[in-house]
Amino acid sequence: MSPSWVDGPISWIAQRAARLAPEAICHRLEEEWLADLAALDGPMLQLRFALGCCLAALAMRADRVGATLSKNVRNTVDDLPAARPWDGVEIPFARRRARIRKEAFTWLERMRRGLRDEQGSELRAWLRRRSHRVYIAREAAQRDRPEDLIVLSEIFQINTAWVEPRKGRSPTVNAAAALMAICIAAVPLFYTHYSMPGLILGPALEGSFMEARGTVYNSGQRALRRVGLRDGTQIVMNRGTRIAVLDSDQSSSVPLVRGEATFTVPRQAHRSFYLTVGVRHFGTMAATFNVRLASKDTIELTVLDGAVGVQALSSTACTDAARGCDVEPPVPTLLRARQMIDTEPGSDSARTLSLFEALAQIAWQRG
Amino acid sequence: MLEDSCYLRSSRPLYRLSSMKKSNPNVRMSLQTLRVLETFLENPSDALSGADVLKRSGMASGTLYPILLRLEAAGWFVSRWETIDPAKAGRPRRRLYRLTPGGLQLATNVLTSFTFRRGLPA
C-alpha cells in the first residue's frame, strides 16, 4: 500500500484528469479511475496511472466518445456519481449539486415514462427554482435527448447558455485561479515587507496608508518648501521630500516618507508631536530638530535648539496617535540641543555636536 | 455497429491495421487495441475492471481507457458498475467491462486474422 500522504495528491490528479474528459462521462470516469487507482499497489504505479489518466481524458475528448456513449449505453441513476463514504472531505455545495442533479435525472426519466396527474404539479413546484431548471435542462442536453428539451421548453424558457457546452474553464474556476495567483504573488511581497520593512512596500503601503488619513506635502526636486501646521509647527522641507500631516486634538503626527526636513515645534500644553521616519517612531513635546532619512534604515536626527525631549515610540503608540487616541507623552530625556542620534539597523548612536557641526546639519537650507 | 464488420473480410494487409479506421468508422484497430482484446479473450466470460486489464496487459492507463471506451461505444464491450456495498467492502465499486457476444466474435476474428496474416502460429 502507498503511504497515506501520497494518496491525496495522486487521487487529486486522477480526479482532475476525469474532469478533462467529455462532460457526459466525466463523473463516471472519476469514480472508475479512483476505484482502479485504489486497486493498484505502490505510489509510483499509482502516480503513473493518474498521469496516464490525464492523457486518456485528452484522447477521449479528441475522440468525442462521450456523446456516443451517452447514446449507446443505457443511462441509469446508477451511472450518476456515487457517494463516497471513504473520503470524508466534502466540497461545499457539491452535495447539493449532486442532489439536484439526481432529482433532475429522476424527473427526466419520469417524463419519458409519462407523468401521473399529481406528478405534474410536483414537477412544476420543483421547477420553481432557477437552479433546478438549469440542471434539468443541462442534464437533458448532456444526455443528448432533444425530445426532453422540447418538452421542457414548453414548461419554461430554456436559456441557450444553460445547454451549450461550456468553452474553457468555468468562471468559478477562473476566479479561484486568479485569487490563488494573487495570494501566491502577495506572499513574497508581504514576507519581504515584514522582514525588511520599507524595502518594497514602505513608501507604497505604509506611506499611502498614513497619507490616506492626512494632508500630503511634497517639495520639488529643485526647490525647498516651507509648511506651517495648524498647531504652529514650522517645517522646512529639503528638495525631494514627502511628508504627511495627521492632526488631532491631542497631537500631531507626521510621517516622513522620504527626504529631509527641519521641524520647529512650539511648546503647547497637553499636545504632543510625533514623527515617523522609516521604521522609527519619535515623539517630542517641543524642539527644533532636523531629520534626514538617508536610507530605509539610516536616520539622522539632530536637535538644534531648546529644551527638547525625544523618545523612540513603539509602532502601536504612534498608530494610536495617528488615530487620534490619547497616548502618554514621551519623557523628554534622550537628546538635548546640539545632540545628534544616528540610527542604523541594530544600533543607535547618540553624540554631542559642536555648534559648527550642528549648523552644518541644516546647511542645505542655504543652498 | 456490430454488423459493420466488412473490414474483417477485406484483403488489406494487416500491417496497415491502423489505417482501417478509414473503412470502419466505429473502431480504430491498433496493436494496443489488439492487446486489450487479447486480454479479454483469455477468459471471454469474465468481466474485468480497468485495473485488471492494466495488470494483465501491462499497458499504460493513458492508452487503455480510450480504447475501452471506444470499444464500448462501438458495442464490442458493455460495462456496468460492480454490485458491492462500498461501505461494507471497504473499497469503491469498480466499473467492469465484458465482451458482448458480437464483440467476442469480432475480436476472435480480428485476432485470428492478425496472427494468420503475420505468419505467426495461431
Radius of gyration of chain A (CA): 35
A32·B60 Cβ contact <8 A: no
Q: Are A152 and A136 in contact (CB under 8 A)?
A: yes
Segment (H or E) for A342:
strand A339-344
Backbone phi, psi, residue B81, to 5° = -80, 145
* Shared domain check, A348 and A265: yes
B81 touches chain A (CB under 8 A): yes
Q: Using CA coordinates, name the residue in chain B closest to A52.
A: B62
A322 domain-assigned? no
Radius of gyration of chain B (CA): 15
* Shared domain check, A238 and A343: yes
* Shared domain check, A260 and A146: no
Is the pLDDT reported for residue A297 higher than 50? yes
* Shared domain check, A218 and A181: no
Q: Is residue A136 very low, low, confident or very high in pLDDT (cuts 50, 70, 90)?
A: confident
Last residue of a domain, one of A72, A91, A123: A72
* Shared domain check, A200 and A215: no
Segment (H or E) for A350:
strand A347-352
- From the number of C-beta atoms within 10 Å of its C-beta (0-12, 13-18, 19+), residue A365 rates as middle
Number of separate domains in chain A: 4
Give me the residue from A34, A59, A72 closest to B92, CB to CB: A34
Chain A partners of B95 at a C-beta cutoff of 8 Å?
A: 28, 31-32, 35-36
Distance from CA of A52 to the nearest CA of B (A): 4
Chain A partners of B61 at a C-beta cutoff of 8 Å?
A: 33, 36, 48-50, 52-53, 56
A321 domain-assigned? no
The three cell numbers of residue A305 are: 535648539
Is the pLDDT reported for residue B11 higher than 50? no
* Shared domain check, A301 and A357: yes
Residue with cell 459493420: B4
Chain A partners of B90 at a C-beta cutoff of 8 Å?
A: 86
- Minimal CA–CA distance to A244: which of A235, A199, A265? A235
Read off the pTM: 0.39
Among the residue ranges A210-224, A248-262, B38-52, the one predicted with the least confidence is: A210-224
A112 domain-assigned? yes
- Minimal CA–CA distance to A213: which of A272, A161, A253? A253
DSSP state for residue A333 in the 8-state scheme: -
The three cell numbers of residue A318 are: 504612534
A168 domain-assigned? no
Last residue of a domain, one of A36, A57, A72: A72
Chain B partners of A39 at a C-beta cutoff of 8 Å?
A: 49, 51-52, 91, 94
CATH (domain of A256): 2.60.120.1440
Which one of A78-92, A284-298, B55-69 scores highest in mean pLDDT? B55-69
For the stretch A12-50, pLDDT in tens is 888 888 888 887 788 888 889 988 988 888 888 888 999
The three cell numbers of residue A189 are: 511581497
Neighbouring C-alpha atoms within 13 Å toward the C-beta of A268? 15
Is the pLDDT reported for residue B72 higher than 80? yes
A127 domain-assigned? yes
* Shared domain check, A157 and A140: yes
**Four-residue CA torsion sign, A41, A45, A46, A52:** negative
Q: Using CA coordinates, name the residue in chain B closest to A51.
A: B62
Give me the residue from B60, B70, B95 closest to A32, CB to CB: B95
* Shared domain check, A255 and A348: yes
A44 domain-assigned? yes
* Shared domain check, A354 and A215: yes
A62 domain-assigned? yes
* Shared domain check, A281 and A240: yes
* Shared domain check, A217 and A233: yes
ipTM of the complex: 0.76
B99 touches chain A (CB under 8 A): no
* Shared domain check, A293 and A231: yes
Last residue of a domain, one of A72, A94, A113: A72
**Predicted local distance difference test score (pLDDT) of residue A83:** 44
For the stretch A77-130, pLDDT in tens is 455 444 444 444 445 566 777 788 888 888 888 887 788 777 888 888 898 888
Domain residue limits at A309: 208-315+329-366
Q: Are A49 and B54 in contact (CB under 8 A)?
A: yes
* Average pLDDT over every residue of A228-256: 83
A320 domain-assigned? no
Give me the residue from A36, A53, A60 closest to B49, CB to CB: A36
Segment (H or E) for B86:
helix B86-89
